[in-house]
Structure formats: C-alpha cells, structure tokens
Amino acid sequence: MVHLRLSRPVAIALLASALAVSSSPAAWSLQSTVASESCVVIDTDWDIDDLMAIPAVVVQRNVAAIVVTEGVSEPRGGAGAAATMLARPYPGASLPVVVGMSSNSSVANLGWLQDLRASQLTVNGLLSEPIQVMPSSAKAARVRSAVRELTKGCTSIELMIIGPFTSFVAYESGIADRISTVVMQGKPLRGDPTADSADLSFNCWYDKKSCTRAFPILKRHDAYWVDVPKGGPIPYSPSLDMVTSLKTTGLPGTTRRALLSDRSTWDPTQLPPASESYLWDQGAALFLLESSGFVQVGGHWEASFTPQRFRERWTKAVNGSR
C-alpha cells in the first residue's frame, strides 16, 4: 500500500495496493464528472515541463488517469506532487493519479536530476515542506489493472507519453484496442534522419530497455513523436510573460503560483550556468490539443509557428481558452 505523508492535505485514495489513485474509478475532468466516450491518459515523469504541460490538457480534455513513471521524478514523489497540485484548486474533486513503474536506474552521478527531484517534492516551491514518501514498488499487473479500471468508461483513449516508457509497456495491452492516438515527446528510437543515435531523447535514454520494447508496439498505433524546434535564432523556451499571463484562480492560478515559486527550474533568465530550458512536453500537449501548425520533420513533428505564438497557445490552453 502506498504511504504518502503530504505537507498539506490532499485526497489520494487507493484503487489497489501500490497504487495511488482517486477513490472513484470514473474518469474526471474539470469540465465533467462522468466518463465520456473519448478520454485522455497522461503518462508522465513529473518534471517542470510536465508541470506546465499537464494543466493544459486537464483543463481542455477529459483526463481519465495520470500515470507517474520513474524519470526526472520517482513514481511516488511525482504522484504526490501531481495529486497535490491538481487537487488544490478543487478540494471536492480528485483526478486519478496512478503510481507507475520504476526502472531502478541509478541517478547517483546525475546531480541535476537529483536537484529536480527535490524541487518537485515541494511542487516547485508551492509547498513549504517537501512531500514525504515511503518507498515501495508498483507491480506491472497492478498498474495495468488500474489503468484498465480507470478507463473502463472510455470507448477511445488518447495517450500522451511525456516520460520514459517503463509503465507503457506494462499497461498498453490492457487498453490497446481502445487507443486512438499516442502522442510522445521526443524523437523515435530509430528511423528519424534528424536524430543523432548517440544522443537519445531523455525519455528513451533514461530507460532504453523499455523504449526498445515500446518501439514495435507503437507501430501498431496512430503514434506521433513531437519535439521542440532547436535550430532557429529565437529559442523555443518558456518566458516569464507566458506564466504571468495565466489567470490567478483555479488550476491556472495554481500553475502560476507553482512556477513563480521557483523560477530557477524553468526561466532562462534564472537558470543555473550550463542549464537549458525548452518547451519540450508543452509541445506534446499542444499537439494533442490541436495539431494545426505542426509539421513533420524526419520521423517527428515540430511547431512551425513562432516561439511567441507557441507561448501564447500554451497560456490560452491552461487558461481554458479555445
């Protein structure tokens, strides 16, 4: 059973042991309390760009579940952070958060990743004290069962993967016949002439074994890899203006406060030396919501509109504008 000791109250019940989900298996969104025919499942490793990407989808779509996979965050800490942030604006509602799979990758030599993990245990400074998480391991069969149960009212599922593929290879078989689209951040493992085989995207690099297993599975689905353009004179990076333009209430307000609580994790003007910040996962979210303005480049898709327009689209999406 999951034990999450949160520094502030948040409703996280258990669907099964080793899983943190809402007490109701029905899909939930900010727009509807009943499952609709089309649902979204978000698979995340809860990094700062995930924190920015997920609210845009939650506000705009009917999200059936969020699966937190080991990557930048470990599953229980990331699940606690996601559940805390998403529950704060709406105390009477809880979006199902599933503690996903661990790859048990060593992060001993990755100081930058350890720093990000620590920052996200306070939801990027939103909480005054970090979430305390007791370690335990989620099992593949239980993750698969949880995702299947949470999506049982969905006749079609859009899947957004913005973390490693460790959980995906565990639960995909339970929902495969209902997956309509898969949108992923990054470039494919093979077959993209623009990709450098020696420089994998983080999600494949962190757990290459599961990425290799996922690659042939994804060929059976309508799958899209989305990456941020990196070759232009103006970088596709976050800006202070796109955050301060968010509403101050509801989930946009919580997102705004979380990001402004610690700008050193995302704001290019505040980053530590040699650090980079791009609109990675935000791009996958915008593609999922509205793919117009994205063009295929090699084996992946990129935004063809300007960085400023990118930021405006993100702000509008989180604010609930169409």
Which pLDDT score is estimated for 18?
34
Evaluate whether 45 touches 163 at the Cβ level (below 8 Å): yes
Using CA atoms, how far apart are residues 265 and 115, in angstroms rounded to an integer?
Answer: 9
Highest average pLDDT, of 57-61, 91-95, 111-115, comes from 57-61
Lowest mean pLDDT among 151-155, 224-228, 232-236, 241-245: 232-236
Which pLDDT tens digit goes with each residue over 186-221? 999 888 888 876 678 899 999 999 999 999 999 999
At residue 292 the predicted structure's pLDDT band, cuts being 50, 70 and 90, is very high
Query: Given this model, what pLDDT does residue 36 score?
Result: 57
Residue 13 or 163, more confident: 163
What's the number of domains the chain is made of? 1
Residue burial 89-117, b: 16+ Cβ < 10 Å; e: rest: beeeebbbbbbbbbbebeeeeeeebeebb
Would you say residue 13 has pLDDT above 60? no
Per-residue pLDDT band at 91 (split at 50, 70, 90): low
pLDDT of residue 195: 81
Cα dist from 258 to 30, 60, 203, 279, whole Å = 19, 20, 24, 17
pLDDT at 2 over 70: no
Report whether 30 contacts 59 (CB < 8 A).
Answer: yes
DSSP string for residues in 271-318: PPTT-----HHHHHHHHHH--TTEEEETTEEEE-S-HHHHHHHHHHHH
Greater model confidence, 46 or 22: 46
pLDDT at 73 over 60: yes
When pLDDT is averaged across residues 47-68 and rounded to a whole number, the result is: 97
Residue (of 28, 87, 96, 56) closest to 247 by Cα position? 56
- Residue keyed to tokens 């996962």: 281
Which tens digits make up the pLDDT trace of 125-173?
999 999 988 777 789 999 999 999 999 999 999 999 999 999 999 999 9
Mapping DSSP to helix (H, G, I), strand (E, B) and coil, where does residue 24 land?
A: coil
Range of the domain at 205: 1-322
Task: Return the pLDDT at 215.
Answer: 95
d(CA 45, CA 43): 7
Is residue 176's pLDDT more than 70?
yes
The residue-averaged pLDDT of 44-66 equals 97
Which residues are registered as beta bridge partners of 160? 42, 183
Say whether pLDDT at 16 is over 90: no
Question: Residue 320 phi/psi, 5° resolution?
Answer: 90, 15
Q: Specify the CATH number for the domain of residue 204.
A: 3.90.245.10
Q: What is the pLDDT of residues 250-260, one digit of tens each?
A: 999 999 999 99
Mean pLDDT score of the chain, rounded to an integer?
87
Give the residue-averaged pLDDT of 40-60.
97
- pLDDT at position 236: 97
Tens digits of per-residue pLDDT, 243-282? 999 999 999 999 999 999 999 999 999 999 888 999 999 9
Output the pLDDT for position 194: 87
Helix (H) or strand (E) holding 191: none
Q: With pLDDT > 90 as the criterion, what percentage of the chain qualifies? A: 73
Greatest extent of the chain over all pairs of C-alpha atoms, in Å: 50
Residue 80 has pLDDT above 50, yes or no: yes
Is residue 193 within a helix (H) or strand (E), and if so which, with residue range? none
DSSP label of 211: H
Q: How confident is the model at residue 12 (pLDDT cuts 50, 70, 90)?
A: very low
